[in-house]
Amino acid sequence: MDVLLRIGGDMNLHAVPWLELGLISPVLGAALAARCRDARAGWRIAFSSSGAAFACSLLAWAGHIALAARGEPSPPGVIDRLSGVRIFGLDEMTGPLLPFVALLHLLIVAGTTGGKAARLSFGSLLALESVNLAAFAAIHPQVLAGLLALGTVVPVFELSSRGRSIRLYSAHMGIFLLLLGLGLGVGHREGYATTLAWVPLTVAVLIRCGIAPFHLWIGDLFSRGAFGTAILVVTPMTGVLAAVRLLVPVCPDAALEPLGALSLVTAVYAAGLAVVQVEVRRFMACLCIGNTALVLTGISLGSEIGVTAALGLWISAGIALTGAAFALRAAESRIGVITLVEFRGLYSRAPALAVCFLSAGLATVGFPGTLGLLPLEVLIERAVAANILIGPAIAIAIALNGFAILRAYAIVFTGRPHASVIPLSVTQRERFTVLALALLVFVGGVLPQPLLDSRQEAARALIEQRARHSPATPIPVPRDPDR
Amino acid sequence: MPDIAQVISTLAVMVAAAPLILMIGVGGSALIGQPPGEPATARLIRMTVSVSLICAVGIFVGMLATGDRHVVLDLGEWVSIRAHEGGHDHVYPFRVKLIFDRLSIPFLVLSLILCGTIGAFAVRYMHRETGFDRFFVLYAMFMLGIVLASVAGTIETLLVGWELVGLSSALLVAFFHERPAPVRNGLRVWVIFRVSDTALVMAAILIHHSLGSGEFERLVGAEAWPGGRASVSSGELLAIGLLIILAAACKSALVPFSGWLPRAMEGPTPSSAVFYGALSVHLGAYLLLRVGPLLDESPALSSIVVVLGLSTALYAYVTASVQTDIKSALSFASLAQVGIIVAEIGLGWRFIPLVHILGHGFLRTLQFLRAPTLLQDYRHLENALGERLPRGAGIGARVFTPRLRTWLYRFALERGYIESLLAEYVGKPFVRLFRWFDRLERNAIDSFGGGESASSTEDGRIASDRR
């Protein structure tokens, strides 16, 4: 954080519209990649534009930190000036989330090799990145809702192009969009967060987050869609973004309680399902559902420390889940569809992938020395303070996830060495991803304070927003992002 | 010239830093795909274990010189979150504190001597073995864990060490991972250790909740060990105590969690020596000693500990009598001693179980390390004696009726049916329930979105209906 502050202070970063550049680069990349027929060239375009988006979003965050430290508001961006309304910007909540989302996309693109690169549409991957980044940078509720709606479209194309049924996915997303529109429309028409506004918004958030009983679409997407796309639809936890931007600031406590209760049940349920899975993709889907549910559980606690832990978990779990999914996806690209039934013996062929899966997987359960330790510890501690039954339930969910991860590791990576006539060791691109993930997981685990500090500021801002907009007060207008 | 307290502080930091350096050195180089090689690994182990051991002995000498029997090194707050809510200040501190006292110093020295011995042995034992680097990454993780657990002054620090020991143990059991059996056994060990970790996490959270901090000094008082007094209410004391006993029972393989111990035999001999003989299996007893004042305050908790210890000792004795391989026999013999140690703790003794741990640890390590050459040792003995070693009938043959002997034999052979009971009444219902949920979900997905998903069956096989 200090490094970013120094960079931001020294370089007069706000003179350059880094945020807009970060948003535009995947759009340009998507346009170029869509016209490109060569997989190798497509990968180069995708990697360059994802890398540029990550670098720009990092610089935008540094600029935001520098301005916030001086107490100055950030000047409106190019898009804001053209439209006359503040549409995009960074604030305490989304400052680190933007580079986080860009990083997830960059890692998945970087780790896409061989057969996967030939089959995957880099154009749609970059389109998804554009929409995700724009959603995380959006501060105007209607614009955010529009981007959330747009984000549901890419998987539809993806599933359709593979000849898979889109019924389940589109039914869930259709209801999500309907309820989102209803919640925002009613809320804005009446100017208050009435029951008519927050009930549909709550259900919309539950659907988008994949909270039981609205979670089937995630398993379906993982099973039938492209693995890479499914990871990038789920791991940034866009549903949680909808919750913290559209629901939590305005909803009454009565909405948070069922949200928390359902999320907690989902966390335990998904962890139990992960233990008995026989398909690696559904196993990954269960892990994602469980972790998203834990984040929502923390947010619903309402206390500053609890929300801080949940927001920290959002980032740590996002990175860790992407790492674990990346390793499984790379394993799948080598030996085809993986079932969690017989030992596949991939360790001897690609030990780096095994280490990546294990370390990232253990980070999702807060193993010591990894990025996930502190957010989960603090979350359980605050949960116990809120209600003595919540803490044990979270601990049980984490314990089950821990077992499920080691079981999956054992089945995929151990056993008699996988027989192959072609080399299956990691490629340079994959090694880059593995090292980047390991660095994030372990360095973040040893130095967790900056992450928690930044998340505490966001939690404080969220709680202040809630205090300002109690149920009897209007839904917030777009706020100045740098205040 | 620096005063003794300053020197002790520096040494204390080095005690914990040396294993950390080993972990970073061995693990980091393996991660970037450049393992250090056998000679460099051996040198690194020698160096770090020696530094840590010399520092531990230095602290001991310093404590003798100053007469201080309770040195606490506060390394400050690793992480701290402060908030003001509802008119109250809330703080989440993750404080790193190391305690050097009459409990931690002996256990630390025992751990380091045995880790050093096992390290030197394993460098030769694992020579040119596939997975040499992997073994030493896990060895480094284990050593870091056991050192942290030994000197932990807060429950959070203990938890970090506890989990490191657990994961490294499970992965070492599954070390020969080309065969399915060691991997399956490693997973069984991991299940029990996850229960242990979860119990300890819950205990840590309750301690935080009650005292606002996880420091042992707050929990059991700042008096030098074995003194101290519990500073929580009786209800909290019972809850915290039960969770700690559960954590300790899982880690030390006390009844009914003893099933993992024979399964752990699949690991390489050096790791068996470290875990079942010497260190890992004593960690639960060590934890009970650390929270001794909690047991002193509660007759109920003490009674539970005594019953657990005695039943484990009895069970292990009976089961050890019918084992046919040396590592299993030694592991059950180890367990019998651990049971007695735990019973001693429950009876309120403190120094006797500590001395028992030290003596037992050294003896059992020697026995485990000699295990691969047992037949040769027997041959030497018999050659020296000039006759076969005497094989007397056991006490059971003289005391019990034939019918009871048969029942006991079957009981021992089936290892008390404990594992099968746990599998039948805990494991299988859990798996059945969640497989049922899984089937429901797959049916829902298939009926709504087209039948493409695979479904699990009772025996875990995949019944694919892919189109």
Q: What is the pLDDT of residues B7-44, one digit of tens each?
A: 888 999 999 999 999 999 998 888 888 888 899 999 99
Instruction: Give me A229's structure tokens.
Output: 């796309």
Q: Give A371's contacts in chain B (Cβ within 8 Å).
A: none
Q: Which of A316-320, B301-305, B362-366, B398-402 has the least mean pLDDT?
A: B398-402
A399 in contact with B, Cβ within 8 Å: yes
Q: Is the pLDDT of residue A476 over 50?
A: no
Each residue of B265-312: pLDDT tens digit? 778 888 877 766 678 899 999 999 999 999 999 999 999 999 999 999
What's the pLDDT at B355? 96
Which of A 303-322 lie inside 8 A of B, CB atoms?
A: 303-305, 308
- pLDDT band at residue A271, thresholds of 50, 70 and 90? very high
Q: Which of A32, A4, A2, A31 is nearest to A18 (CA)?
A: A4
Each residue of A443-457: pLDDT tens digit? 999 999 999 999 999
Q: Give B205's contacts in chain A (Cβ within 8 Å).
A: 380-381, 384, 391, 395
pTM across the whole model: 0.91
Separation CA A379–CA A303 (nearest Å): 10
- pLDDT band at residue B224, thresholds of 50, 70 and 90? confident
What's the pLDDT at A3? 59
Tell which of B428, B448, B455, B461 to mutate to test the A interface (max A CBs under 10 Å).
B448
Separation CA B29–CA A253 (nearest Å): 50
Each residue of A221-242: pLDDT tens digit? 999 888 988 999 999 999 999 9
Taking residue B447's Cβ as centre, other Cβ atoms within 10 Å add up to 10
Bridge partners, B88 (sequence order): B85
How near does any CA of chain B get to the CA of A152, in Å? Answer: 17
**What integer best gives the mean pLDDT of chain B?**
88
Each residue of A94-153: pLDDT tens digit? 889 999 999 999 999 888 876 666 666 788 889 999 999 999 999 888 899 999 999 999
Q: What is the ipTM of this complex?
A: 0.90
Contact A272 B433 (CB under 8 A): yes
- pLDDT band at residue A39, thresholds of 50, 70 and 90? confident
Distance of CA A248 to CAs A290, A461, B239, Å?
Answer: 20, 12, 35
The whole-number average pLDDT for the span B219-237 is 86
The whole-number average pLDDT for the span B118-139 is 91
Which of A 354-373 lie inside 8 A of B, CB atoms?
A: 355, 362, 367-369
Each residue of B448-459: pLDDT tens digit? 876 555 444 444
Distance of CA A242 to CAs A147, A251, A271, A349, Å?
Answer: 11, 13, 24, 42
